[in-house]
Amino acid sequence: MTADELQTLIEDATADYALGDSDAALAKLAQATSAAPDSFEAWHAAAEVNFSLRRLDDALAAAEKAHALRPADVFINTTLSRIWMERGDKAKAEHFGAQAKVAGWREQLKNPGNDTPGLA
């Protein structure tokens, strides 16, 4: 699968989810993560879709894969914080929330004037 095909698959999955077809979205994200297990975007999308469906175990598994690929990413640390909070582990939620803040500060230092952490 080419990078463009992977990106299209992730975008299609996101559109499916937005249109209410969670099963199609999850199937496409499973295809994406299987074809490209090093795709941060696919794992993060899978984490977010599963989280929104309250499939917390699946959300956590996907988020941990994304985190292993980009441990300093603002958004995956935020996702992990939200998952752990929902699971009732305040300490882990606060840990990942703090990691997200640190990552955001790093991004601001690298890109002065860019008020959106994670976007270069």
pTM of the model: 0.83
∠ at Cα 106 (101, 108), nearest 5°?
A: 95
Residues 6 or more apart from 117 whose CB is under 8 A from it?
Answer: 74, 103, 104, 107, 108
Residues 6 or more apart from 50 whose CB is under 8 A from it?
Answer: 26, 56, 58, 59, 62
pLDDT value for 2: 95
Place of tokens 């909070």: 85
pLDDT less than 70: residues of the chain: 113-120
The CATH number that domain 1-70 falls under is: 1.25.40.10
Q: Rounded CA gap, 50 and 25, in Å?
A: 10
pLDDT value for 119: 47
The residue extents of the domains of the chain are 1-70, 71-120
pLDDT value for 106: 81
pLDDT value for 102: 82
pLDDT value for 115: 57
